[in-house]
Amino acid sequence: MRGERYCEVLLVSVETGEPVATVFNSYPLNDCPETLWSQLDAQTIAAANNASLALLNGPRFWLMNDAQKANATPLPQTEFGGIAMYRQASVNIGSLANRSVPYIPYAVDRSALFTYNTGERVYLLTAPDGATYVMQTWSAQKDPGLTEAALTDLGTRLSLPAGWMYSSRILSEPLVVDTRSAPATVLQDNFENSYSKTTGG
């Protein structure tokens, strides 16, 4: 799973007065081919699906080695511009608004178990209160030239708020982020890389 590329389409609609986004994800159906992804048009997708708005999120790349969903059930499948995707979830648009603000944590109910294997390098943000966030996906949206190898020195390029620190290390034992029974706390940096709060910290 680690290093695999994916992308998302989010269809936003207003239900019972609250904006809600339905999230579609290309993983593990395909690697979101750039030739197809680059041709997608958000306005066309929104109109074709009777949505108020469509958002394109990607390409992104996984950093965990394994992800397991609690009580996993078969997911509906569709396609956008030839890219097959699973319908993963519906989320309140308020969470999406928070997601666009770097270094602001927000809650996501994803009921999942993420595992980073022994010997892998992990990339960490440490908040002023000591909470640690591990990078779960890195993004090529803000910097198309960004590579996983460049993440080790990413701290020199981040616009970190006062008191925040960026670091990386090689795992001497597996790192598990378990959010099967409680919401995950996540955030993004100013390159739109996403992080999960470690459940031990």
- Let me know the angle formed at the C-alpha of 141 by 18 and 70, rounded to the nearest 5 degrees: 55
Order across the sheet with 112-116: list the strands: 66-69, 112-116, 175-178
Verify that 118 and 139 share a domain, yes or no: yes
The predicted-structure confidence for 39-83, as pLDDT tens digits, reads as follows 999 999 999 999 999 999 999 999 999 998 877 778 899 999 999
Judge whether 37 and 83 are in contact, CB under 8 Å: yes
- Last residue of some domain: 37, 62, 95? 95
pLDDT-derived band at 145 (thresholds 50, 70, 90) equals very high
Give the separation between CA 87 and CA 90, rounded to whole angstroms. Answer: 9
- How does pLDDT run across 7-29, given as a tens digit for each residue? 999 999 877 677 888 899 999 99
Residue 140's pLDDT is what?
Answer: 92
Confidence bin at 88 (pLDDT 50/70/90): confident
Domain count, the chain: 2
Are residues 138 and 68 located together in one domain of the fold?
no
Q: How far apart are CA 150 and CA 145, in angstroms?
A: 9
Average of per-residue pLDDT values in the chain: 91
Check residue 150 and give its pLDDT: 96
End position of a domain, from candidates 95, 113, 147: 95
80 with 42: CB under 8 angstroms?
Answer: no
Residue of 9, 78, 11 whose CA lies nearest to 37: 9
Confidence category of residue 180, pLDDT binned at 50, 70, 90 = confident
- Domain boundary, last residue among 45, 68, 95: 95
Based on the fold, state whether residues 107 and 193 are members of the same structural domain. yes
